[in-house]
Amino acid sequence: MKLLRLIPSNTNFDFLRFKKIAFIFSAIIILGTFVSLLINNLNYGIDFKGGILLELRSNNSNNGNIDDLRNKVSTLNAGEVSIQNFGKETDFLVRIQKQDGDQKQQIAMIEKVKSVTNKDYNVRRSEFVGPVVGDELKTAGMLAVSLALLSIMVYIWFRFEWQFSIAAIVALTHDVLTTVGLFSILQLEFNLATIAAILTTAGYSINDTVVIFDRVRENLRRYKSKDHYFIYNKSVNETLSRTVITSVTTLIALFIIFFFGGAVLSDFALAMIWGVLIGTFSSIFVAVSLLTYFNINKGDKVEDQPNVPEYER
């Protein structure tokens, strides 16, 4: 039976030829990330900065009026208020800044919102996050990402060699920074779901990188007489079909979530879509390209063993 291949098994693209262009591109988007963080910072959600969150549904099953809801809430003088559609046209997400005072004042504001909206809207969910809890969650999120990167670096170090570990962690840091930059530039809400997306992206990216590194290690032992440039390019080409198929199938699911998953999942899906794209890019053009700057030992000199079973390609 003939197998369907998105990428031919005998590709011979010279990926490393574009490594300088790739490094320049990466440097530009990372610089853009730092500039955006200095100017815009991140649009922290209530998870991190504290405040009140309410989910409302209009009693009118045909439609909801966001202007009407905004006028009702504005009469409360609650400070900074953000209202947006939440999935269906009849659903709304209301975010209100933390009120002066303790928890009693926050609960009082929630009751005020209910009182001015109860005729036309049902409150389906209400949450309050204090600034202390928000700071703790922010610290915990940063710690989670840092520990994940450190653990991955140690894992790669033990599984391969220290050169592979450095290349992998640079590529992973590149993916994390650019994902944070995406949220800063677009001013998307940065919350706990975003941290989950970043960690998932890191896992996806390192999985892709490990597959390529594994083939690099095999080919370093197999092609003793070839230079490293040839081996790295061949390794990427031999795993290209797997990389493309994995990325495409993942992106199909993520685009469906982005367009049909509602407002709750749209930012998460967008972060994952970017993560898959930039993770695939970094695995090929950052991680592998960085290996060219190390003199990795091929082991004992033996004859080349170029024959690789078809199922390994």
| Structure confidence at residue 5 (pLDDT) | 60
| Structure confidence at residue 195 (pLDDT) | 85
**Among candidates 150, 145, 184, which has minimal Cα distance to 166?**
150
193 CB contacts (<8 Å, ≥6 apart)?
264, 267, 268
10-residue mean pLDDT profile of the chain (313 residues): values are 58 86 94 93 78 81 70 78 75 79 78 82 78 69 81 80 86 90 89 84 85 87 82 88 87 90 80 91 90 75 49 40
CA 21, chain centre distance (Å): 23
Strand 88-96 relative to strand 81-86, pairing: antiparallel
Burial of 257 (0-12, 13-18, 19+ CB in 10 A): middle
Do residues 95 and 46 make contact, with C-beta atoms less than 8 angstroms apart?
Answer: yes
Multiple choice CATH, 51-129, 3.40.605.10, 3.40.50.2300, 3.30.70.3400, 3.20.10.10: 3.30.70.3400
CATH code for the domain defined by 15-43+133-312: 1.20.1640.10
Do residues 253 and 247 make contact, with C-beta atoms less than 8 angstroms apart?
Answer: no
Alpha helices (H) in 77-191, listed in sequence order: 103-117, 131-159, 162-186
pTM of the predicted protein model: 0.75
62 CB contacts (<8 Å, ≥6 apart)?
90
Same fold, 15-43+133-312 and 51-129: no
Burial of 28 (0-12, 13-18, 19+ CB in 10 A): exposed
Q: What are phi and psi of 150, to 5 degrees?
A: -65, -45
